[in-house]
Structure formats: C-alpha cells, structure tokens
Chain A
Amino acid sequence: MDNKLPFNDVIDQRHHRRSDLSSFEYTHKAEITSIHKLTEQENLYRIQIIDPAERERFEFRPGQFLMLELPGIGDAPFSISSPPSRKGDVELCIRKVGGLTSFLSRVERGTHVGIRGPFGTSFPMEKMYGQNIMLIAGGLGLAPLRTPISYVQENRSRFNNVDIIYGTKDPLQLLFTYQYDMWRADDMRLSIIVEKPDASWQGRTGMITRVIEEIFEERDDAFFRNTYAIVCGPPIMFKFVCSMLNQKDLPMQKMFVSLERRMHCGMGKCCRCNVGSTYTCLSGPVFDYWTVMNLKEAI
C-alpha cells in the first residue's frame, strides 16, 4: 500500500485565478519610457506596464503606492504621482537617496523594471465631493499629492474651493513647476512658500504654517466645517499643520496624511513598515489624522 502523503498544490487549492496568484511576488514587467529631471535630486520616471491587458487592469486610487523592483538591485515602495485615469502607465517622482534610487538615476530609457501592486489605502476622494479641499505638501510630499491634485483637476466641478499649499526649503527644490499654471487655470489656488529664498525669488518666504495662517484670516469658521485636508510631507510638518487645522474645528478624521516607512513586501508580511504594530502597507500609507494620533511612534 502506498504510504506517501498526498501533495497539496497550494496554487490549485488556494488560488483559483491567476490574478490571485499574482498578488504575491508576481511582477508586472514595465518599461521606463521617459526620464525627466525635475531638480538636482529628483527625477520623474514614466513607467509603462508592457502587456496592454495588464496595463489596463492596473487600477489604483490616489494615495496608493507600488513596489518598484530592479532585479539584483532591490525593490522599494513609491507613491504613484500620475492620474489614476492613466492606469498602468504611471509616473514616479523619485529622489536619489539610497542604493536603489541611485542606481535608477543611472538607467536609461527602455530599461525594464518590475512593478508590484498597487498597494495600500487611498485618499477617499468621493467623500470630499461638494466640499472644500486643502491639498498641502511639504518638500517631496508633492509627489504623492500630485495624484489627488490631478484627480481634483479631472473632476473639478465636483469640488468646492480648492487650495494647494506647497512649501520647500529653497526655490531650487520646487517640483513640477511646469504644471503650476495649469493647476491655477483649473481654478485651484496655489500658494507656494520657501524657507530660504534665493536672489530671484519673489514669492512668500517662511514656513508652510504661514500660508495656513493667511487662510485662517481670510476664511470664516463655516468654511472649515466643510473642508477636507490632505497633507503630505515629513512627520514634523504634518504634525504642525494638522494641529493648526484642528484648532479651526476641522475634525481629525477629515485630515489625511501619508506615512513613509521601509517596506519589503507591501503585503503585510515583512513587518518592516510597522508603526507601533500597525502595518503601513495594509492600514496605510494613507491614514486619517485621528488614527495617526493613536499610533505610537507615528510622529
């Protein structure tokens, strides 16, 4: 009699469709179709999933991220900077800070990379219909904020007053300068502020909170009762901004921030992105500020 144990094929048993299998470690092969230098440190990469059907299926929402893989070099999470309507033809704004991003800054157009995702939570744009929106970014925070901005742009009539508030260290670090006029043309008010102006700078100077104070002076309390805020930037920045907004009775659950952590899987397995004990990749990266307040180690 045969005493061999029966083999359980995990794929047949647990994954009935190929798309389920694809949720773990399956990589969409994509091609870098353009590289555009934004600043000394940041490049904008346009990356297109090669298979047209897969590209069409790559649906994401503003605030979600993907895992970008360079075989043999590494993989890391990046928030998507392009409009959701463009699906698997994404743009990633990437700063040269580590091993993967430095290598990426040396690759040419036409190189194939891997994409997994999209992963994580998103900004609940539909909830904000009919409301005022404050889109606030500090530094590289404009990269993830660009997706909700383009969403609002594509659906401008659904939103009431739209403010984009953007602050950087100095004018040379301003990202996506070529889009500012288009945003303004779509009736989104853009306020830019830099900490350290150079000789040619004619705009506002100071911290981002200065712009918010200006808005406080010009709007009444009723305005803030009908407002949502999306805040992207370093923790110290969104902490200040959100506390200010909360003074105006903007509920913390109507403010959304995006957290950045180290990740290897993007799927709630490797634990590297945990804040306290919450997975940034599953419960985030987009959190409302009330949740962030309750997360140990978040700020």
Chain B
Amino acid sequence: MIFRVIEKAELRSLFTMLSAANRVIGPVGVGLDRSGRQLYGFEEVHDFDRVALDYTMTSLSAKKYFLPYREIMATFTMDNKDWQKRIDYNIDAPFVFFGMHACDINALNRLDKVLMGSVYPMPYYAAKRKNAFIIGIGCEPQPNCFCRSMGTDTALHGFDMFITDIGDRYFIEIQSDTAFNFLKKIRTGEPVEADHLSFMKTGAGKNEKFAASVDTTDLTKILDMEFQSEVWKQWGDKCLGCGTCANVCPTCYCYSVEEEVSIDLTAAAKVKKLYSCNLIDFAVVAGGHNFRPERHSRLKYRYYHKHRGFVEAYEESLCVGCGRCGEACLADITVPEVIASVREGRKTDGQ
C-alpha cells in the first residue's frame, strides 16, 4: 500500500476539486436530539464546511446510496397479451463518498460477497458500488460500537483512500489509481517514521475507548445449541416488529418485490423495496402459510443470518458492529445484550 501525509488544509482543496466535477456524499449534521446531542446523516454536500469530519455515527447507514430503499428494477410497456421489458441498473454517473467509517466500508465489503461475488452478481448494486469513489476516515468509538469484536474496526480494502487524523496532519492510505492521481493534484508528502508512530499511536488510543463488546467464541455453535432457548421469546416479547433494525443496518440487504400497474393500464413496473426479516409476512408463502409466525422466531432468524449463516458461508459475520440497530431500537434491543443473553441462557438486563 502507498501512504502519504497531507497538511489538514489540503483536504479542503481535495474536496473542492472533487466536488467541482462530481456528486459528493458526506456526513453532515441533521439536527439535535431531545437531549441536545448532535444527530448525523449522509447527504449530498457542496460545501466543505458542511462536512462533519468528526461525526460520531449517522443514524442511517450509507446503504441507500448502494441499495436504495426503493428501486425500479424493470419497467414494462403493455400491449394486450404482449409486453416489452426494459431493465435499468439506475446509475448515471460515478460519485464521491467523502468520509466513511471503517465499519461502513467493511459493511460494503460484506455486501460485495453476496451481491457481487456469488453465482449471480447483482448489477443494480455492482453498478453503484463500482462507481463510488470512497474516502474513508478514522473515527472515535461510541458507546454502542462493537466493531472491534467483529474485526471491522479497520478497513483493509474496499475504499479508494483512507484518512486518519494524526494530530497536526492527515495520514492517508491509498488504494486506487484514481485516488493516487487525485492526490497528485494537491500538496502531499511522504510519511516519515514519526508519522508512522503517530498513526500507530492513534490506533492504539482508539482501541482503549471501546465500551461495548460481543464474545464471538463458538458463536455459530452456540446459536445452534440455543435455538430453542427461552431468551429468544423474551426478546420477542420486547420486539416491536417494526423493521427499524434492518433499515438502519449497513448490511441488511433482503428485499421485497412489488409489481405496479399504471392507472391507464399501459405500463407496469417491478419495484424492489428493502424489507426486513422482522416483519410479519417475511416468510409467508402463497396460500398463507407463515414459516415464522411469531416475533421471536423472526428476531432469532435475523441473528441467525448475521451471526451464523453468513459465517458459515463466508467465514466472517455479516454484522459489522456499528451499533446502529441498538441505537435506533425503541425497545432497547442491542446485539451485545442479545448475544450475551443467549450465551448465558437468560436475559441480562435484569428484567
């Protein structure tokens, strides 16, 4: 890998250069919550001063820029018994993602495995993923973050360049030719030994700040053993079945397809909508049979997919430990607590 260091002011030049010719998505403040805490989201930005480089955690992940919540997969023109189908992968121009944390980059890497690496690559996703210029940025662990437990606290690949704040300057990892060429247009320097040490010190400092963790030892087996555990029912009683965990999750990719007919009956569309396995009708088949009729069986399935099935298939968890689901869940269901309760055979929150 090639490394560079830049003066902090140079980042503005990089942004200005990129945003002059491309659409740029980045973290921005979107208001304060009821206790005065800053909330963040990913939005299109035109002004470098709006980019919240020190953002904590966005409420929603970066997913919608790669897997839109609602996407038209195909349209039809209808002609009585005949029809024509048109397929559009819905990408018109490359875009810049300015400031993505390691967990979210790793989330894309995991999605790549399912959506690009399998027998049937999904062009809707690939078209957007391949056209995203991703600038990663270092972060401070938040109370709900457990990425370190999931091995996703650093990103090894899946980005174009990654920025780490090493005090007075930024340390930059370069992974793509495109990034290398852009960096030639601003003032950069070769890192010296002192920069390397600062980089390492930053990483070590970050590691000390994690508050939440998940013990993944033997987890796939434990989940199998505890399939009938009562704790699932207890969590199921709390679960609202609202699908919010899946919607804020950077790796939940499951979807539903709805067909729409235009009111003049001359056209139709096939629409993909991100769905959630916690929703009542996720596993309903024609005729009405529901393979997971109870809330707890659906909640359990979600954990099975993230922490067992995906591990079995790809030797790593689908959960990247970003902590968004726990943060967003009104019923306070968090991954560290659920996993811990399954390991211990009881709920741990004292209820």
Contact = CB atoms under 8 A, between A and B. Distances in A.
A271 B122 CA distance: 14
B255 A97 contact: no
B119 A282 contact: yes
B76 A262 contact: no
Nearest to A111: B81
Nearest to A20: B121
A71 B259 contact: yes
A141 B15 CA distance: 61
B342 interface: no
B348 interface: no
B115 interface: yes
Contacts of A11: 89, 123
A7 B120 contact: no
A78 to B, nearest CB: 10
Interface string B62-86: 0000000000011010100111010
A278 B308 CA distance: 10
A178 B227 CA distance: 46
Give the dominant DSSP class at B's interface: mixed
Interface in A109-151: 110-112, 114
Contacts of B114: 268-269
Nearest to A107: B81
Interface string B268-284: 11100001010000111
Contacts, number: 170
Contacts of B199: none
Interface stretch (B4-12, B32-40, B124-132, B203-211): B124-132
Contacts of A69: 270
Interface string B247-266: 00000011111011100000
A8 B130 contact: yes
Nearest to A269: B122
B46 interface: no
B292 A271 contact: no
A282 to B, nearest CB: 7
B81 A112 contact: yes
Interface stretch (B17-25, B99-107, B320-328): B17-25
B234 interface: no
B286 interface: yes
B261 A262 contact: no
B244 to A, nearest CB: 17
Contact of A72 (B119, B254, B261): B261
Given A11-B123, A272-B283, A3 B76 contact: no
Which of the listed residues B120, B283, B304 has the most CB atoms from chain A within 10 Å of its own CB? B120
Interface of B: 17-18, 20-22, 73-74, 76, 78, 81-83, 85, 87, 89, 91, 93-96, 114-116, 118-123, 126-127, 130-131, 133, 178, 182, 185, 224, 227, 253-257, 259-261, 268-270, 275, 277, 282-287, 291-292, 297, 301, 304-305, 308-310, 312-313
Given A25-B74, A27-B74, 18 more contacts: A3-B21, A7-B93, A10-B123, A11-B89, A11-B123, A70-B259, A71-B83, A72-B269, A75-B259, A101-B286, A265-B255, A269-B120, A276-B301, A277-B301, A277-B304, A282-B118, A296-B227, A297-B301
28 contacts: A3-B17, A3-B20, A4-B21, A14-B116, A14-B123, A23-B121, A27-B74, A29-B85, A71-B76, A71-B85, A72-B268, A72-B269, A75-B257, A75-B270, A97-B287, A98-B287, A100-B286, A112-B83, A262-B283, A267-B119, A268-B118, A268-B120, A270-B254, A270-B275, A272-B282, A276-B301, A277-B309, A297-B301
